[in-house]
Amino acid sequence: MKTDPPTCNQAELAQMVGANRTTIRAYARAGMPCLPKTKGRENNYIVSLCIHWIAGYQAARANSLPMMQPLELILFGYSGAFRNNASYQEYRSEAASIAATAGASDREFDEAIGFLRGAKLLPW
């Protein structure tokens, strides 16, 4: 695994999340973020973004929610770690860091948080 932020290849991500490579490819087709592919190389993934995206994607599907944008799924998945132990401001501060890792602008972050709160998908 490479660092800053930690990245991995498809096989490593599959092992981390307990899935097979076919599932990881399906997630990528469904919108899971990956780093730009270089010629002749497989996709690489930012570990934290993918883990939160997968958590959000699985929760959305399990609850029959409409499909969301990748950043919305990342932030929705990330909110699970905060549901019982933190205030909205603590979540928002930490989530902003995750959004920055995803390359989201402040406006995109605010829109994603606004969507999740408007849809009552965040507990605060």
Domain boundaries, the chain: 7-118
The listed CATH number (3.30.1360, 1.10.1660, 1.10.3470, 3.40.50) that belongs to domain 7-118: 1.10.1660
Cis peptide before 6 (omega within 30 of 0): no
Residue ranges of alpha helices (H) inside the chain are 10-17, 21-30, 47-62, 70-79, 88-101, 106-118
Q: Looking at residues 18-25, what average pLDDT do you find?
A: 95
Q: What is the pTM of this model?
A: 0.87
Report pLDDT digits (tens) over 53-102.
999 999 999 989 988 999 999 999 999 878 777 889 999 999 999 999 99
**106 has a pLDDT exceeding 90:** yes
Report pLDDT digits (tens) over 23-54.
999 999 999 999 877 766 778 999 999 999 99
